[in-house]
Every structure is written in structure tokens, then in C-alpha cells.
Structure 1
Amino acid sequence: MSEQKPIGSPFGAASTALNVVEGLDLTGKTAIVTGGYSGLGVETTRALASAGAHVIVPARDRGKAERTLAGIGNVTIETMDLTDAASIAAFSNRIVGQGRAVSILINSAGIMATPLARDVDGHESQFATNHLGHFRLVAGLWPALVKSGNARVVSVSSRGHQICPVDFDDIDFRARPYDKWQAYGQAKTANALFALGLDQRGTAFGVRAFSLHPGVILTDLARHLSEEEINAFDVYDENGDRRVDPSRDLKSPEQGAATSVWAATSPQLVGIGGVYCEDCEISLPQEEAPGDKGVAPWAMDPQAADRLWDISKTITGVSPGDM
């Protein structure tokens, strides 16, 4: 794993996804963006497509995806439900069966602070959607990622990972009371640990992985929050307008998508992987209070990454690299 320290990126908190791809030619490359038809995912899709990549957007709501992405070229919409193992397998088999090489996979879809719900196997929904679904997807797409020879897998985590580590003894809240923020925190920690574990296993196959915090952006992700909870993030100004202040981590969707796109495309990151990024740069380890910049120690712990990998493999019955 490369060191968790900045590398002198020319971009920063105020950069947009389109700024990041300016001058890059992604013609001939295939990218897949989960959640690519809502929130930050739309801007991620737009930027990659504008640089010439063919972007595949898996969608549970195909009609919404078609409406949202209308007018953006180089985009194909495919049916997939990230909460359904069979749907993920069918999607992956279609892509692999077409003989495609997938150069970029951005795992941007997710849910946040939801009421307690479980998937069909009884696993808590935030962990199941944000982590297990993407673990299954990477496993299914593994031959296509390896085929590219220099693939990047980007996991959209969050500063919310600083809330807590993964509770390996009770991931699904069977013994402890359900807390929606604890569930979100461990799911976002899992996103970072997955990138760490995947990079360790994928480097020999030309597959590198990254995780990141996109910034605080008011999107549909906040649909389960109360007005009071949303106001606590200080996302509105005195006139009730959405506040955009990248210096305080309050970003527009275009700025929020920038770090995902930077991690997926930056030439500076060649030979690097397994790191957590924010503001279009590799982060430093967290030194200040929770909520400040940096990555928490439990989200870059190789032993925790291995433990998560083994548990995920047991739960899903699949594993990237096993095919």
C-alpha cells in the first residue's frame, strides 16, 4: 500500500469533475458508475462521458435514469438492483459476456441514515447496500477489470466513516439497539476497508482501488433526515438557499463528484492505490476531532480490511479474484 499522504495534486476542494478531466482522453475506455443517475453520480457520469469514456450506468429505476441522463452522450443504461444478488450477477454476466474490458468502476450508489431494514438474508440495509452489493459487483466484474490491464475501482466513502469502525461482532445490530448513524458509519468504514483490501489483492492483476470523501452535498441521499438534522449540517444560508463553500466542505454536486473522477483518472495516481482521498488529493491520517479532514485509523487498518474481506466472502459466497 502507498503511504497515506498528499502527492501535490493541482486540484482542490473547489475543483469540479469537469475541471479534473479537462485535457484527458478516455476514448475507448469503459466506465461503470453505480448511482450514476442521481446526485453526485450524474456529474460523475457527465464528466467521464465528456472525456470520451463509454459510461455504463446500472439502474434499478430505468425510467428515472433515462430522464436524468437524457442529453448526455456515450452513456448506456443497464438494469441492476444493488440490493439483489441475482440482479448483480445478471448484470455482471452481461458485461463480462460482451467481452468488455472495464477500466473504471466507481461505486457511488448508497443510502444514508435509514430506518432499520434488512435485506432478504437478514443483513442490515446500509451495510448490505453500501458494502455487500458493491463487493458482489466487483467479484462479478472481476474478469472485465483484469482484462483492462490497468483498472481502477473507486469506493465513495464519507467522512461519516469517522463515526465508528465496523462492529465485527454485531454488524447487523442483532445484539445492540439499532442506531442509524452507527450503521452509516460502519458502512462507510467498510467502503474504505474494501478499497484497502481490494488494492492489496488486485495490484498483481493491474487493478488498483481507492476510497474517498466527496464533501457535504445536499442530495437525495438525505431523504431520510429530518429538517432539524439537515439544518445541523449548515447547508442553507440565511435566505434558505443551498450554501456552497468548499473551504468548509460544503460543495456543489459538480464539486462533490470531482474527487471520484480524480481517483478514477488522474495520471498522478499511477502506481498508487489503497488510499483514502478528499478534495482531489490523498488525505492525511486524521489528527483532529471527528468531522475534520483526514482518515480515521480504523479505516486504514489492514487487519480490519482482511477481516471484512473474509466476512464479506462468507456472506456473499463470492470474492473478487476467485473467478
Structure 2
Amino acid sequence: MLAGLDLSGRLAIVTGGYSGLGLEATRALTDAGARVIVPARRPEVAAENLADLAHADRVEHDTLDLGDLDSVAAFAQRVVDSGRRVDMMIDNAAVMACPLERVGPGWERQFGTNHLGHFALVNRLAPALADGSRVVSVSSRGHHFSPIRWDDVHFEHSGYDKWQAYGQAKTANVLFAVQLDALARDRGIRAFALHPGGIMTPLQRHLPREEMVALGWLDEQGNPGPAASSFKTTGQGAATETWAATSPRLAGMGGVYLEDCEVAEVVDESAAVDGRGGRRNGVMPYAIDPEQAARLWAYSVEATGVDGFSAA
């Protein structure tokens, strides 16, 4: 997707850029000449994984825990204080279908890490973003599983469902891009959300083998199962996020949801659904609803205490 693009002199930040899709995005960007900052909750693992890249000299790693607002603030301040402009911000890090855990001031972990941590990070990095910068929010087809659960966002009053929690967090990733683009486009900053595709990566680490067998991802021996034939490689999966961050075809666009390196169609809500309420492709109408996006932004500002764009 980056063939022919020279990204020399450009700076990217890729959260989770040392594993799975993020590592492939880091590889593609550095191969094209960009410098990449990889913030990581486990910087020692990041250093080891990034050392083998062909252009490891173009990568720097730093410490960041998206579930800790103090850690988010400290990392962002280091970037801002460096005086460098961030041309590409890829919010790639995520957790999926984990047991109920709390981060920050008691947030449900998937919503707190996948959405609120990235929300605070991008807003604190606002001084380093400028005309031509792009923010890429890596969502998932999993956003089909749930809209925002406004009556109980953090599963404090109802039974926890790990897939519904994941779906809500991925819907939040899309709504974040919609509202960020609306607020920042006058400054020339554009935002995109995307589904990378089905890929076997460390994101599945919280799923027991028997569940992956039931889903058809693995067989009883732990080999790829029947559903795995439709999976992408990690390189193919990273293509849409790197395309979103760099493609000239997206010039003048923003606030849209992408898949397979194209703007996705809006889902026909009458279409057949799978066992968890998802369709095969496309973006759910509730995930790109501007009123929902504005409401989530206001909620997130109150939750994190940060807003780098509304008053800009």
C-alpha cells in the first residue's frame, strides 16, 4: 500500500507498534522512510521485537500505559516538549474479549484502554498535530456487536459480557474519529477509523482454545480451523491502517470508516447477523452518527479531563 511513497522526514506514532498489526505497520512506515515512535506498556518487549526491523534505526520506543492517565499525560508531554510535529497518529493498541477488569478510576478495561486511553492521548498530543496530520483509529467489525451502552458504560450495574464490551469499545473508536474529524478538519487534521480484517494476532490472547475451536478459528489440535481460511496475514491486516495514514487518495476526506483499503458501505440493518450480532462487512449506522459522536466526545472529556480540540 506504500509502494512509491517517500515518507522521509515524516513522524508517526503507532501505539502497540511492536506486536501483531502494529509491528507490521511500523515495518511498512519505516521501510517507506518514516520515523516511528512506538509507545509500549512493556518497553523491554518492544525493544526486543523492534530490533530486528530492517530500519530499526528509524524507530524509537517509549513507555505508555493507556489505562493510566498519568502515564498517558507523561508520554504525550515528552512528545510535545520535543517540538516535533506528528504527521501520523495510529491508535492501534487494543485488548479484546478479556475478563472483567478495571483500569484508571474504575473504567471497564476494554472501553478504558481501547477508547478513553487513546482519547486522552490524542487530545494531549493536539499541540504536535498540524495541517496535514492524520489520526487513524483502529476499530473492528466487532463494533457490530454493540452501540454505546449509555445506561451502563462500565458494566457496573449489569452482567459483564466480554464481546459486548469489546463491541462497545470498537464502536467508540469509530465515533471518536467521526467527532475528531469534525472538530479538527478546519486545522487540516483529518481522522479515520477502520476494520483491519480478521487476523490471528496476540489480540486473541484472552480467548481460551475451546472458544477459538467453537468459532472455527482453530481445530482440536490447535491448527488453523475452517474459518481461518478467510483470515488475512498480519501484513495484509496492517495495510488498511497504513493506507489510512498515508494515501493521497484520502486527501480532503475524513470522518469515514475504511475496510480493505476502501471507504466502507453503511450496513443495511435488516441484513442477516451472526451469533454475536455482527454482519460480514460495513459500518453500523450508530457508529457514524454525528449526535452519538458528539455525545461520546462530551462523555470522554468529562471522564479524562482532557479536550485539546473543542476550544481550538
For structure 1, the residue ranges without an aligned partner over 5 or more in a row are 1-19
Q: Does 1:285 pair with 2:266?
A: yes
Deviation >3 Å, runs of 4+: 236-246
Q: Separation in 1 of the partners of 2:226 and 2:247?
A: 25
Q: Does 1:158 pair with 2:135?
A: no
1:306 to 289, 294, 304: 294
User: What are the within-5 Å matches in structure 2 for residues 177-216 of structure 1?
Assistant: 177-216=159-198
Q: Separation in 2 of the partners of 1:92 and 1:98?
A: 10
How far did 1:71 drift?
2.6
How far did 1:291 drift?
3.0
User: What are the within-5 Å matches in structure 2 for residues 132-171 of structure 1?
Assistant: 132-146=116-130, 149-171=131-153
> Counterpart in 2 of 1:82?
66
Cα distance change, pair 175–281 in 1 and its aligned pair in 2 (3 A): same
> Counterpart in 1 of 2:282?
294
For structure 2, the residue ranges without an aligned partner over 5 or more in a row are 273-277
Q: Does 1:217 pair with 2:205?
A: no
- Which amino acid in the other structure matches residue 207 of structure 2? L
Q: Separation in 2 of the partners of 1:39 and 1:126?
A: 18
Q: Does 1:40 pair with 2:21?
A: yes
Aligned 8 A contact 1:244 1:251 in 2: no
How far did 1:240 drift?
5.2
> Counterpart in 1 of 2:81?
97
Deviates more, 1:118-127 or 1:22-31: 118-127
Q: Separation in 2 of the partners of 1:240 and 1:221?
A: 16
Cα distance change, pair 57–80 in 1 and its aligned pair in 2 (3 A): same
Q: Percent identity, please.
A: 53
> Counterpart in 1 of 2:107?
123
Structure with greater contact order relative to length (CA < 8 Å, sep ≥ 6): 1
- Which amino acid in the other structure matches residue 195 of structure 1? A
- The two structures have a TM-score, normalised by structure 2, of 0.92
> Counterpart in 1 of 2:244?
263
Cα distance change, pair 243–203 in 1 and its aligned pair in 2 (3 A): farther
3-state SS, counterpart of residue 129 of structure 1: helix
Number of residue-to-residue matches in the alignment: 301
Q: Does 1:175 pair with 2:163?
A: no
- The two structures have a TM-score, normalised by structure 1, of 0.89
Q: Separation in 1 of the partners of 2:226 and 2:173?
A: 26
- Which amino acid in the other structure matches residue 112 of structure 1? M
> Counterpart in 2 of 1:7?
none
Q: Separation in 2 of the partners of 1:214 and 1:31?
A: 18
Cα distance change, pair 245–61 in 1 and its aligned pair in 2 (3 A): same
Q: Could you report, residue by residue, the CA deviation over 1:67-114 in whole angstroms, capped at 9, with x for unpaired residues?
A: 111132210111111111111111111111111100000000010111
Q: Could you report, residue by residue, the CA deviation over 1:162-186 in whole angstroms, capped at 9, with x for unpaired residues?
A: 0010011210111211111111010
- Which amino acid in the other structure matches residue 186 of structure 1? Q
Aligned 8 A contact 1:245 1:251 in 2: no
Q: Separation in 2 of the partners of 1:105 and 1:182?
A: 27
Cα distance change, pair 207–223 in 1 and its aligned pair in 2 (3 A): same
